[in-house]
Amino acid sequence: MKALCSLLLSLAAAPALAGQAVDYEINGQPYQGYHAAARGEPKGSVLIIHDWDGLTDYEMRRVDMLAAAGYDAFAADLYGAGNRPVDTAAKKAETAKLYEDRQAMRERTLAALAQSQRLGDSDTVVMGYCFGGAVVLELARAGSAEHIKGYATFHGGLSTPEGQSYSADMPPLLVAHGGADTSVSMDDVAALSQELEAANATYEIQVYSGAPHAFTVLGSERYDARADQHSWDAFNDLLEETLGSPAP
């Protein structure tokens, strides 16, 4: 209960954002991420990939939480500076552009990773929410980025495009999934598990009973405090295993 209250207070009653916007370019086009430096001696870096809303205060709050715990943290921008879709149709359109152009998805993610590593520690865990979770798995399958120590996806898309696969030398992967998710089914979870087993990959899948899709989004109708806390604890374990001490 104490840990849950701490998490809720960190998100709901957080002070003004402690980090800062970071402008960067990809192929001559402007993007704007968000960075917060680790308090004290850095334990490593965390790169956060946003959901289909684009980079918003939600990811920024998570960046601040990680920085307060001693991690250099950076939230990527995969849509472009100022492009933050509001209605559902616009959000679907933005994600479709990248789902249909996987090379662009990887290029933008790797550019954000490079920016993150320029600002902080090179050893990095990459995590993402919803659409961002699918992007994390895309990066994990590509396997070309240096200094990535782990991956985590929260209520993310889990399907594997034709022609792609996982490898045995992939860094550890955490999959946090809601048992009541109607957008990504338990059949999808099982299929991913079979792929990872076939590849002899190192992974952990946690399923939280009754939790719907987007269960970590505080203030939404889908928010599930228990699943949010348990998935954050599991993420802490991954950080401790791969980078050092966990976040509170």
Q: What does pTM read for this prediction?
A: 0.92
Tens digits of per-residue pLDDT, 69-126?
899 999 999 999 999 999 999 999 999 999 999 999 999 999 999 999 999 989 999 9
Where b means 16+ CB within 10 Å and e means fewer, 214-243 reads bbbbeeeebbbeebbbbbbebbbebbeebb
Q: Per DSSP, which regions of the chain are E strands? A: 20-26, 29-36, 45-49, 72-75, 124-129, 148-154, 173-178, 203-208
State whether residue 149 is helix, strand or coil: strand
- As a whole number of angstroms, the distance between CA 144 and CA 141 comes to 9
Tens digits of per-residue pLDDT, 120-145?
989 999 999 999 999 999 999 998 77
The CATH architecture to which 2-242 belongs is: 3-Layer(aba) Sandwich (3.40)
- As a whole number of angstroms, the distance between CA 106 and CA 98 comes to 9
Tens digits of per-residue pLDDT, 26-71?
999 999 999 999 998 999 999 999 999 999 999 999 999 999 989 9
> Confidence band (pLDDT; 50, 70, 90) for 197?
very high
**Domain spans in the chain, listed from the N-terminal domain onward:** 2-242
Is it the case that residue 1 has pLDDT exceeding 50? no
Is it the case that residue 9 has pLDDT exceeding 60? no
